[in-house]
C-alpha cells in the first residue's frame, strides 16, 4: 500500500475543510490497482494551542471492480462497521 507520513507543525486542507493546528502527526494510505475498492484514508492527531487534542479520520472510497459494485449496500455496511470499530478503539 502507498504510505505517506505527515509530521509536526503543519497547516493545510483536508477535503476542502481548513485545518489549522500547532502540532500534528498522522498517516494516510490509498488502495492499489486490483483492490475491490478505490479510495484513501487519513488519520491525523492534532494538539491545539490551548492544549486540547483532537483526532480526525477522513476517508473516501468507491467500488473499483464489478463484484464490489454488485455488493452495493452490503459494501457500504462493511465500511460503516469498520468506521464504528475505529471509534470504539478510540473510546478506550
Of 54, 2, 66, which Cα lies nearest the Cα of 30? 2
Q: What is the pTM for the complete model shown? A: 0.58
Say how far apart CA 27 and CA 7 lie, in whole Å: 9
- What cell was used for 47? 494538539
Instruction: Classify 61 as helix, strand or coil.
Output: strand
Specify the number of domains making up the chain.
1
Structural domain harbouring 77 = 3-91
Q: What tens digit of pLDDT does each residue of 73-90 get?
A: 888 888 889 888 988 887
Across the chain, mean pLDDT equals: 75
46, 53 contact by CB (below 8 A): yes
Say how far apart CA 49 and CA 47 lie, in whole Å: 7
Amino acid at each position: 500500500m502507498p504510505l505517506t507520513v505527515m509530521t509536526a507543525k503543519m497547516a493545510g486542507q483536508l477535503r476542502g475543510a481548513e485545518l489549522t493546528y500547532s502540532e500534528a502527526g498522522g498517516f494516510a494510505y490509498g488502495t492499489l490497482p486490483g483492490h475491490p475498492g478505490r479510495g484513501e484514508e487519513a488519520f491525523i492527531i492534532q494538539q491545539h494551542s490551548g492544549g486540547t487534542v483532537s483526532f480526525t479520520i477522513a476517508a473516501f472510497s468507491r467500488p473499483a471492480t464489478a463484484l464490489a459494485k454488485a455488493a452495493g449496500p452490503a459494501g457500504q455496511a462493511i465500511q460503516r462497521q469498520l468506521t464504528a470499530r475505529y471509534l470504539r478503539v478510540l473510546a478506550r
